[in-house]
C-alpha cells in the first residue's frame, strides 16, 4: 500500500491499529483509538493479560472492566498473543517497557524483542510507531535496522516514527485524547502518516523535525521533573535544620504568577519514568564524552531520600524513648503516587526494606494495593492491613509515604502514637499536631 492509500485508510478510520504492550500506556491508547472510531488489535506476550482482556476484564484500577467489555462486545477491540496477526494491521504502535538493567544501563531487550516480532510480520505499507520512552537515536539506530532485515526499507516500503507517551495515571484533568502528542518521523511521509493517525483521535498533534527530537522531548520532560524534585528534596533537608517548613515555603513561592513552577519533596522517586528515563540519556551521553551532571546529582539526592526519611523516623522514635530496632511501623501507601495502584519503583518499598534491615517490624496499608506481587527486584509478600483505630494505635509509628485521597488524616493522627509525614498530607489536621513529624 502506498503512502496515499494508508493516509486514506487512516482518515476514513478504516485502518486497523495494532498496539503492542497492553500495560499502563497501551490500554489507555486502546480506549482512545476505539473511541475515535478505529478497530484495534492489542498484542501482548503475556497470555494471562490477553485472556483477561478478551473476557472483558481490566487489570489496571483506573481502566474500568466495563469499558474493556464493551469494546470487546462491539467488535472494535480484541487482544492476541499471536504475532502473525500483526501483519493485518495498518499501523503498529509499540508501548513496551524500557527499564534499567542491574547496572543502571538501558535495558533494550523489550524494544529489540518487539522489533524482531514486527520484522517477522512486516508488510509493505505499514506504519510503525515507537512510543516507549528511550534515548534519542533508538528509532533510527535500534528499531530501523531490525525492521529492515525483513528486506523492506523504511521510508520506501514501510513508515517509521516515534511519538512519546505522556500518560499520567490517576490524573483527572487530562486524558490521552487531550494531552498534546509530539510526533517525529523518519522522513516526511512517516511524519505525515503518524500525524494523521494521532490527529484522528488526539486534540493536538505537535509534529517535530525528526524521531531524535521527539525522543529527546520526552527525556527532557522527565529530566526537568527529576532535577526539580531533587532540588526541593535537598532544600527540605536544609530547611528542616533551619526550622523552616519547606511546604509552606513552596506554597508561598507559587503565588508568584510567573517564573516559578511548584515541585514537592517526598520520600524518594517512584514510578516507571522519572527514576529511570534520565539515565537513558546519561548512558547515551557517554558516547559523546559528555557527563550529565544535573542528572547524576539529582539521582544521588533522590535515591538518598528514603534513608533520610528513616533517619528522621529513628530520631522521632528516639525522642520518645524508643529505638528503631524492635519498633512496630505501619507504612501508609505502597503505590508510588497518590490514588493509583502502580507500585513500580515505589519509594515505599525501599522504606519497608530499610526498616526491616534496621530491625523494625513493618506492615503497610494501601486501599489501592490489597496485596504485594512479585516485581523484577522485590518480593515483599505482604498484605494491606485494615486501617482501624485499634491497628493504628498498636504501632509505634505510622509513616505516610503516599498521600492517597482516601485516607482520613484526622482519624490517622487521632489514633496513631507518632506520625511521620513525608508528603505534608497532614497539613490540615488541627488536633494532635505534636504527634506529627514532617520528613
Ligand X SMILES: NC(=O)c1ccc[n+]([C@@H]2O[C@H](COP(=O)([O-])OP(=O)(O)OC[C@H]3O[C@@H](n4cnc5c(N)ncnc54)[C@H](O)[C@@H]3O)[C@@H](O)[C@H]2O)c1
Catalytic residue numbers? 273
Binding region for ligand X (CB under 6 A) out of 107-115, 179-187, 205-213, 348-356: 107-115
Per rule CB under 6 A, is residue 96 in the interface with ligand X? yes
Per-residue x/- mask for ligand X, residues 136 to 165, rule CB under 6 A? -----------------------------x
The correct pick among 32, 52, 58, 98 for binding ligand X (CB under 6 A) is 98
Q: Which of 404, 432, 402, 435 is nearest to 420 (CA)?
A: 435
Q: Could you please report the per-residue DSSP string of 3-62?
A: HHHHHHHHHTT-PEEEEE--STTHHHHHHHHHHTT-EEEEE-S-HHHHHHHHTT---STT
The correct pick among 272, 337, 423, 435 for binding ligand X (CB under 6 A) is 272
d(CA 252, CA 1): 58
Per rule CB under 6 A, is residue 43 in the interface with ligand X? yes
- Contact 43/230 with Cβ under 8 angstroms? no
Binding residues among 197-226 for ligand X as defined by CB under 6 A:
none
Looking at beta carbons only, is 120 or 300 nearer to ligand X?
Answer: 120
Give the pairing type, strands 397-400 and 159-162.
unpaired
Q: Which three cell numbers stand for residue 211?
A: 524521531
Binding residues among 23-42 for ligand X as defined by CB under 6 A:
23-26
Cβ 54 to ligand X shortest distance, Å: 14
Distance of CA 125 to the CA centre of its chain: 32
Per rule CB under 6 A, is residue 270 in the interface with ligand X? no
d(CA 186, CA 197): 15
Cβ 275 to ligand X shortest distance, Å: 11
Distances (CA, A) of 287 to 102, 216, 219, 281: 20, 16, 17, 10
Per rule CB under 6 A, is residue 59 in the interface with ligand X? no
Cβ 347 to ligand X shortest distance, Å: 16
Per rule CB under 6 A, is residue 61 in the interface with ligand X? no
Looking at beta carbons only, is 56 or 432 nearer to ligand X?
Answer: 56
Looking at beta carbons only, is 163 or 195 nearer to ligand X?
Answer: 163
Residues contacting residue 300 through CB under 8 Å, at least 6 positions apart: none
Cβ 389 to ligand X shortest distance, Å: 35
Cβ 412 to ligand X shortest distance, Å: 28
Per rule CB under 6 A, is residue 273 in the interface with ligand X? yes
Q: Where are the beta strands (DSSP E) in 31-75?
A: 39-43
Looking at beta carbons only, is 114 or 139 nearer to ligand X?
Answer: 114
Per rule CB under 6 A, is residue 275 in the interface with ligand X? no
Looking at beta carbons only, is 20 or 232 nearer to ligand X?
Answer: 20
d(CA 275, CA 272): 7
The residue whose grid cell reads 483521535 is 201
Residue 129: beta bridge partners? Answer: 93, 161
Per rule CB under 6 A, is residue 366 in the interface with ligand X? no
Give the max Cα distance, the chain.
76
Binding region for ligand X (CB under 6 A) out of 91-99, 249-257, 406-414, 423-431: 91-99
Residues contacting residue 412 through CB under 8 Å, at least 6 positions apart: 332, 387, 392, 398, 400, 419, 426
Cβ 372 to ligand X shortest distance, Å: 16
Per-residue x/- mask for ligand X, residues 301 to 320, rule CB under 6 A? --------------------
Cβ 154 to ligand X shortest distance, Å: 20
Per rule CB under 6 A, is residue 20 in the interface with ligand X? yes
Residue with the shortest CB distance to ligand X? 23
Tell me the number of residues near ligand X by CB under 6 A. 27
d(CA 56, CA 76): 13
Distances (CA, A) of 177 to 12, 55, 280: 18, 25, 27
Q: How many helices (H) and strands (E) does the chain have?
A: 15, 13
The correct pick among 18, 30, 127, 167 for binding ligand X (CB under 6 A) is 167
Looking at beta carbons only, is 110 or 294 nearer to ligand X?
Answer: 110
The residue whose grid cell reads 483477561 is 52
d(CA 106, CA 98): 7
Per rule CB under 6 A, is residue 89 in the interface with ligand X? no
The correct pick among 110, 239, 294, 411 for binding ligand X (CB under 6 A) is 110
- Contact 382/371 with Cβ under 8 angstroms? yes
For the packed helices 26-35 and 65-74, what is the interaxial angle rounded to 10 degrees? 50
- Using CB under 6 A as the criterion, which residues of the chain lie in contact with ligand X when the complex forms? 20-26, 43-46, 49, 95-98, 110, 113-114, 117, 132-133, 165, 167, 169, 272-273
Amino acid at each position: 500500500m502506498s503512502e496515499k492509500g494508508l493516509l486514506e485508510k487512516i482518515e476514513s478510520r478504516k485502518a486497523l491499529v495494532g498496539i503492542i504492550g497492553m500495560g499502563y500506556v497501551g490500554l489507555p491508547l486502546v480506549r482512545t483509538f476505539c473511541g475515535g472510531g478505529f478497530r484495534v488489535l492489542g498484542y501482548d506476550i503475556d497470555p494471562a493479560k490477553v485472556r483477561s482482556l478478551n473476557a472483558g476484564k481490566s487489570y489496571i484500577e483506573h481502566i474500568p472492566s466495563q469499558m474493556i467489555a464493551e469494546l470487546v462486545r462491539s467488535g472494535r477491540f480484541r487482544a492476541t498473543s499471536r504475532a502473525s496477526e500483526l501483519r493485518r494491521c495498518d499501523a503498529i504502535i509499540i508501548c513496551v517497557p524500557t527499564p534499567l538493567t542491574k547496572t543502571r544501563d538501558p535495558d533494550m531487550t523489550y524494544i529489540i524483542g518487539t522489533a524482531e516480532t514486527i520484522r517477522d510480520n512486516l508488510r509493505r505499507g505499514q506504519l510503525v510507531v515507537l512510543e516507549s520512552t528511550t534515548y534519542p537515536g533508538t528509532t533510527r539506530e535500534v528499531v530501523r535496522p531490525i525492521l529492515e532485515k525483513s528486506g523492506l526499507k523504511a521510508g520506501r516500503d514501510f513508515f517509521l516514527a516515534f511519538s512519546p507517551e505522556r500518560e499520567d495515571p490517576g490524573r483527572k484533568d487530562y486524558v490521552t485524547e487531550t494531552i498534546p502528542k509530539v510526533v517525529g518521523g523518519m522522513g516526511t511521509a512517516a511524519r505525515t502518516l503518524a500525524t494523521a493517525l494521532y490527529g484522528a483521535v488526539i486534540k493536538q498533534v505537535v509534529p517535530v523535525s525528526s524521531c531524535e527530537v521527539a525522543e529527546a522531548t520526552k527525556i527532557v520532560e522527565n529530566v526537568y521533573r527529576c532535577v526539580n524534585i531533587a532540588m526541593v528534596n535537598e532544600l527540605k533537608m536544609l530547611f528542616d535544620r533551619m526550622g523552616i517548613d519547606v511546604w509552606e515555603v513552596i506554597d508561598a513561592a507559587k503565588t508568584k504568577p510567573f517564573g516559578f513552577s511548584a515541585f514537592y519533596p517526598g520520600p524518594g522517586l517512584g514510578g516507571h519514568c522519572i527514576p529511570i528515563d534520565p539515565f537513558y540519556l546519561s548512558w547515551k551521553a557517554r558516547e559523546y564524552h559528555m557527563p550529565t551532571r544535573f542528572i547524576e546529582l539529582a539521582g544521588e539526592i533522590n535515591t538518598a531520600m528514603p534513608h533520610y526519611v528513616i533517619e528522621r523516623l529513628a530520631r522521632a522514635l528516639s525522642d520518645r524513648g524508643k529505638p528503631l530496632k524492635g519498633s512496630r511501623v505501619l507504612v501508609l501507601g505502597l503505590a508510588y503516587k497518590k490514588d493509583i495502584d502502580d507500585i513500580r519503583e515505589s519509594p515505599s518499598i525501599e522504606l519497608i526494606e530499610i526498616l526491616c534491615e534496621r530491625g523494625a517490624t513493618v506492615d503497610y496499608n494501601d486501599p489501592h494495593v490489597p496485596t504485594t506481587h512479585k516485581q523484577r527486584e522485590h518480593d515483599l509478600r505482604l498484605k494491606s492491613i485494615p486501617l482501624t483505630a485499634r491497628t493504628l494505635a498498636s504501632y509505634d509509628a505510622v509513616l505516610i509515604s503516599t498521600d492517597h485521597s482516601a485516607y482520613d488524616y484526622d482519624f490517622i493522627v487521632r489514633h496513631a502514637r507518632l506520625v511521620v509525614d513525608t508528603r505534608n498530607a497532614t497539613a490540615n489536621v488541627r488536633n494532635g499536631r505534636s504527634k506529627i513529624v514532617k520528613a
